[in-house]
Structure 1
């Protein structure tokens, strides 16, 4: 690794004690030296509404889009609700997909991960999110995947990732994401 890259990370949860927010914080802690991860909190982004968009993006949406544009890639930690991607995550993607073909998500490399108390570690939510990125012309890293299952056993009460195996794997995942983003940065 040699070239510095900037990643925008966000969690598809508004909950203060979210495992997925904690997962992004852990990613910041274990990220390679040549990778800067900036956390963006989705709080304050309204539900997507084309009538609101026609009057101009709300301030928090503008901030979100500008942060995406300034980043070389995205890192999204999504929970899984009812076997799918949560509305908070999908809503953020809907706003960032506008306007089509000129959206900040267009040709943006993306890494997806997630944590869940369940045994599938947000696998279904991640799968649905990948489908949404096909339309936005974003480049989702296909492998490796990181599915943090039984998250309540891997984070302490303060939200610190305490499971060393998960921490090690997260570091390797970020090295792969670095290489993935560099592929598109070199060709862009």
Structure 2
């Protein structure tokens, strides 16, 4: 039972950390750099072929969110080994938080299989900036240990709602925190 609680905590670390990154707990950010866009555009068509709503990806703010999700998925599938793709799509503060999660994955020898599917993403304006609200599904993205055994209980939610604040940084849009909550969106 204790290892199950640990596994749930390991998987939800990015959720918990992102919630503490911004000054507003109901917002966050997503980003893309011109160089990251090319990599992510390739990744979106090759690695995230399951996406059902890429129409908003022409909007640089929404595209920034997709780039963020692709970079985060790459890190988790690599077991925390690949982190260089994260820096161009998020602020230093968020990168630091996600790096802690990557270290946890490496230490515990965890990794994800499959991909996260973004079901929809849209931009909204709020008093504290630009927000990307997105619904994503983790049904195909299992977290497993070094032996390939699932580490999360079957009751772990698979639908999540992101509320990410997007901010411009040196001519590109970047993730600056936000919240992720289980939601049947």
> TM-score of the superposition, structure 1-length normalised?
0.24
Q: Which has the higher strand share?
A: 2
TM-score, normalised to structure 2's length?
Answer: 0.25
